[in-house]
Amino acid sequence: MSDTEVSMESRLICELIGTFALTFIGAGSIMMGGDLTTVALAHGVVLAIVVTATMNISGGHINPAVTISMMVVKKIDNDTGLKYIGAQLLGASIAGFILSQLLDGTSMVAVGHGMGTPAPNAGIDLMGVVAVEAVLTFLLLFAIWGTAVDPRAPAIGGWGIGMMVAVDIMMGGGITGAAMNPARWMGTWIFTDMADMSHLLMYWAGPLIGALSCSLLYNNFIMAPEDEDAKLRDHDA
């Protein structure tokens, strides 16, 4: 399905719902006191489902870092990209608001989780957080390019992407919270810790550095050239 066959409204609604679902399920699993494996699988499975559901409509970005990196390598135009980012931030914020109203102050809220907002371990400094988030997001983008963007990608929907998020959280959750997604992070942050701006830079800079690095690398050195794409299409025809 080409972009011209899908209205902008449909694409933005998909990005909003997808980011809402990721934030609502992901942050909700933390607020309910889930252990690291449960939280990782909650994020990974819901992302796999929403990416699969939206990839043929909006591309299934569900993440401002993904959208910005695709804008840089000209996979999406700037006007559309900015609208996507707005929809993503709105979807995550709606999820954060609902969670704050439904669960905050009840016995179900695990004390100290900050409404499921990723936060760094006390033993890691700003540069460490940025570095870890950059590496985790780089790996996420590698999965996105290799399983969804590249024309040679296997037809597995969003499951490779979701599973990469899950294993990233299993590794990095105890270090930085493994956000990898500024919208997912901000969706709950604005309702709990907005007075504290100290984490704002690290949870935008890290994912953006990782996403841009991987997208530039894959697009310039791994992606099939256009003539090879044509051969692949001819072969499949």
**Structure-block tokens of residue 75:** 């996979």
152 residue type, one letter: R
pLDDT at 189: 93
The CATH H-level superfamily of 3-226 is Glycerol uptake facilitator protein. (1.20.1080.10)
Task: Report pLDDT digits (tens) over 150-161.
Answer: 999 999 999 999
pLDDT at 77: 98
For residue 120, give every residue at least 6 positions away whose Cβ sits within 8 Å of its Cβ, in sequence order, or none: 128, 129, 175, 176, 177, 199, 202
Task: Report pLDDT digits (tens) over 11-28.
Answer: 999 999 999 999 999 999
207 residue type, one letter: P
- What's the CA gap between 209 and 180, in Å, rounded? 10
Q: Calculate the CA 83 to chain-centre distance.
A: 16
For residue 118, give every residue at least 6 positions away whose Cβ sits within 8 Å of its Cβ, in sequence order, or none: 176, 177, 178, 179, 184, 185, 203
For residue 134, give every residue at least 6 positions away whose Cβ sits within 8 Å of its Cβ, in sequence order, or none: 205, 206, 207, 209, 210, 213
Which residues of the chain register pLDDT less than 50? 1-2, 105-112, 227, 230-237
For residue 107, give every residue at least 6 positions away whose Cβ sits within 8 Å of its Cβ, in sequence order, or none: none
Task: Report pLDDT digits (tens) over 97-132.
Answer: 999 988 654 434 443 456 889 999 989 999 999 999
**Is 170 strand, coil or helix?**
helix
- What's the CA gap between 105 and 15, in Å, rounded? 30
Within the chain, residue ranges assigned H as helices are 8-31, 36-54, 64-72, 78-102, 126-144, 159-172, 182-189, 200-217, 226-236
pTM exceeds 0.75, yes or no: yes
pLDDT at 102: 85
Q: Domain coordinates of the chain in residue numbers? A: 3-226
